[in-house]
Amino acid sequence: MFCPECKSMMFPMEGVLTCKRCGYSGKSKSKASTKIVTKMHEEKEMMVITEDTATLPKTKAECPKCGHNEAFFVLRQTRASDEPETRIYRCVKCSASWREY
């Protein structure tokens, strides 16, 4: 069910397979029936959490900006997969961010 001219997919229109790209029309060579199924999905409400640092783990790390000794942290693979991940810290007190490679 591909167009012999441009090789794109052909769709049944009024009982004849027609190419939407180049306009080629022709009968199907196969005996299989053609059936188009369209499914409608209902929209679902999605909640987006922008910045909830309460779920991040905490560790003892000194903030270079304010000197506080507690920070949230997250691990990210910022370089090649054969290199160690980067630890990104955010101070609990002043929200300053820094990274440790």
pTM for the predicted model, two decimal places: 0.45
Domain 53-100 has CATH 2.20.25.10: yes
Tell me how crowded residue 98 is: count the other CB atoms within 10 A of its CB: 14
Distances (CA, A) of 63 to 67, 76, 88: 5, 19, 12
**pLDDT tens for the chain, residues 1 to 101:** 788 889 888 888 887 888 888 988 876 555 556 566 777 777 777 666 566 556 788 999 999 999 999 999 998 888 888 888 899 999 999 989 998 87
Q: Where are the domains of the chain?
A: 1-30, 53-100
Q: pLDDT at position 90, please?
A: 92
Q: pLDDT at position 31, please?
A: 56
Q: pLDDT at position 32, please?
A: 55
Domain boundaries 1-30, corresponding CATH code: 2.20.70
Q: pLDDT at position 2, please?
A: 84
Q: pLDDT at position 71, please?
A: 92
Name the DSSP letter for residue 82: T
